[in-house]
Amino acid sequence: MTAPAIVLVADGPDDSAVNDSLAGITRSLQAFRPDLRIHLARLGGVSPSLPSVIDRLVSDDVGEVVLVPLDLVSAAEHVSEYDDFPHSPDIHVVVSRPVGPASEVLNILDERVREALHRGGALEIDGLVLAAPAGADVRGTSLLARRARQWSTHHRLPVQLAVDEGDGRSTATAVASLRAQGRRHIAVGSLYLTPTPAYQAHLQGAMRAGAIAVTAPIGDTAHLRLLILARYAFGAMELLDGTPTQLPVEDLDDDA
């Protein structure tokens, strides 16, 4: 029996930069795991829609699929969002936990901060902002705060958490808060998957407020690929026994 297919489910506008970034993530994952059938589906009326992707899999006689939400800020299952999702009874669909604010994202942000500092010719920082888009669930919000504390402890620097509504104000306020504390070399880690308009507003807000470096969106990274595959593997376990599997609370805390 073949392994279940993976469908990466992503939100975001029908924008060329966003589309290219998501396509790159999908291609990279397919190259990394050529043994798996991997597709991308878009929400919000953007093509390819989830129903069309599932219909294509059914027509190719695929019997099982795991949906992996590419959501970096929520931590709980997205099953309720797909309760009304119509699909053929010939395919078994399960929804994994979203990628979420896993501890591994701090490794990605460290890499992105180094890249941003190198581009700007900066040598040191004395403050950090962890910026994320709004829309997290309760568990995700708690984990975002936890990641900010972990980042602060790791670098022994003050870290401000900014949850932006899409206008860049929260990021700008976080940078201004650090500057009010006397910090002048502030880098902003962007927990945005792709260069959406919300990311661009956050970038502009950070620079206007005086940040010396703002990271690029997460995009395609080895860490992200491994997180996606971990979520897929956990979802595939549910297909094996047909019963939902719940992570213990301590595992959710660590988000391994």
Looking at residue 238, what is its pLDDT? 76
Which CATH number does the domain 5-100+220-254 belong to among 3.40.50.620, 3.30.70.2860, 3.40.50.1400, 1.20.1630.10? 3.40.50.1400
Q: Show Cβ contacts of residue 42 under 8 Å, excluding neighbours closer than 6 positions.
A: 9, 10, 11, 12, 14, 22, 48, 49, 50
Question: What are φ and ψ of residue 99, in 5° steps?
Answer: -55, -45
Query: Sign of the C-alpha dihedral, residues 85, 40, 240, 235?
Result: negative
Cα–Cα distance for residue pair 220/215, rounded to 1 Å: 14
Domain residue ranges of the chain, discontinuous segments joined by +? 5-100+220-254, 105-214
Whose CA is closest to 100, among 125, 75, 120?
75
Cα–Cα distance for residue pair 196/214, rounded to 1 Å: 15
Looking at residue 81, what is its pLDDT? 62
Looking at residue 80, what is its pLDDT? 58
Looking at residue 35, what is its pLDDT? 95
Give the pLDDT means over successive 10-residue stretches in the chain (256 positions): 89 95 97 96 92 93 93 79 70 91 95 93 93 94 97 98 96 98 97 97 97 96 96 85 42 45
What is the H or E stretch that residue 59 is in?
Answer: helix 50-59
Looking at residue 256, what is its pLDDT? 39
Angle subtended by helix axes 138-155 and 105-120, to nearest 10: 60
What does DSSP assign to residue 83?
A: T
Whose CA is closest to 38, among 49, 46, 27, 52?
27
CATH architecture of structural domain 105-214 = 3-Layer(aba) Sandwich (3.40)
pTM for the model = 0.89
8 Å CB contact between 67 and 7: yes
Domains 5-100+220-254 and 105-214 alike in fold: yes
